[in-house]
Amino acid sequence: MSPQPPGEVFFVRGTVLPDRESRDLYVVNGHVTYDPVSAADLVGEGWIVPGLVDAHCHVGLDAHGPVDDAVAEQQALTDRDVGALLLRDAGSAADTRWIDDRADLPRIIRAGRHLARPKRYLRNYAHEIEPDQLPTYVVQEAQRGDGWVKLVGDWIEREAGDLTPSWPAAALDAAIQAAHDHGARVTAHVFGEDALPDLLAAGIDCIEHGTGLSTELIDDMATRGVALVPTVKQLNNFPTYAAAGEAKFPTYAEHMRQLFTRRKETIRAAYEAGVPIYAGTDAGGVLPHGLVAAEVVELADYGLSAVDALGAASWRAREWLGFPGKLQEGDPADFVVYAEDPLENLQVLHHPQRIVLRGRVIS
């Protein structure tokens, strides 16, 4: 089915999550209303979920760096067609602003380009800079992004042969303060343990991956309200990364295996401590796009309840990113309809029956 033109009036009938109210939900001029409209056509029935969120992906990137617009478009369409209607692009070297002009593509919240140390991250991904440059580049990327900045908090350091922190504490203090002064939140890629204390002390807003978290650091995150996007599908690749680095960096390889072995215990402990957790697939590098349903299912396998796992990729994540969470009167019409209750069977998320984006029926 092709997208409906602007101004189309229609409605869906069913149970609206998360409150589980049985209602007719009307769409008029791109927004939700519960006031009946006599001329509206019924376009779907089932369980109605606020548009899904992939809170860590990379539209415009592949394993080698920036991609052209045609590939970026396909990435965005792939996410859209599984119901991911809001994406937090957690670092991209590509300019994807043109997507904002496409009513048929997901909404994107950008974090600018990754900020990393020279030769200590994936090639062609990041601004590779020294610590004294970090505050300046944070301000630059805060202005380029949509309220987020992405740091590479740790990576392999050749002399150590293992993951080590990318930034000294003083640089982090200055950079994160600069971001906050410019109205941006800061997140950081962190696999290991050692980078986390300085990032949290500096006032970081979010941690990506977080496999090195200890009980003490988890309690600190919970107290500070620091979010965690664990990218659990990506964590499954740790043994592959370990094997790839074994010959040159055996200490790193063993470290990655240890992090992998305790990954579920670590993320479950963060959840049980009250750390806010959101779903992100890390698509756009090694992983393909369109994995948000699988991410939610795996979050539940880590110990999250069904309502918390789905909320991490829907209403809670939308609110965290500054969008309406629940489908209330006057909200933008971004939602997905399923034939069965996803809270009873999260596998249903793989099979959306209707997708409505910006008030248009997409499928």
Query: pLDDT for 41-94, tens place per residue?
Result: 999 999 999 999 999 999 999 999 999 999 999 999 999 999 999 999 999 999
Sort 84 into a burial class: Cβ within 10 Å, 0-12 / 13-18 / 19+. Answer: buried
* CB-CB contact of 218 with 238 (8 Å): no
Compute the average pLDDT of residues 3-8: 53
Element spanning 56, H or E: strand 52-57
pLDDT tens-place string over residues 116-144: 999 999 999 999 999 999 999 999 999 99
* CB-CB contact of 332 with 324 (8 Å): yes
Q: Pairing between strand 154-157 and 148-152? A: unpaired
pLDDT above 80 (res 5): no
Name the packing angle between helices 134-144 and 169-181 (round to 10°).
30
Please name the fold of domain 52-320: TIM Barrel (3.20.20)
Amino acid at 319: E
- Cβ-proximal residues to 82 (8 Å cutoff; 6+ apart), any chain: 52, 290, 291, 292, 293, 349, 350, 352
pLDDT above 80 (res 7): no
Going from the C-alpha of 329 to that of each of 15, 27, 310, the distances in angstroms are 16, 10, 22
SS3 233: helix
pLDDT above 60 (res 4): no
Which pLDDT does position 285 carry in this prediction?
87
Which pLDDT does position 45 carry in this prediction?
98
Which pLDDT does position 197 carry in this prediction?
98
SS3 6: coil
Domains 10-49+326-361 and 52-320 are alike in CATH topology: no
* b (16+ CB within 10 A) / e for 310-343: bbbbbbbbbebbebebbbeeebbbbbbbbeebbb
pTM: 0.96
pLDDT above 80 (res 291): yes
Residue with tokens 């000294």: 168
pLDDT above 50 (res 9): yes
The top-level CATH class assigned to 10-49+326-361 is: mainly beta
pLDDT above 60 (res 2): no
Domain range summary for the chain, segments of one domain joined by +: 10-49+326-361, 52-320
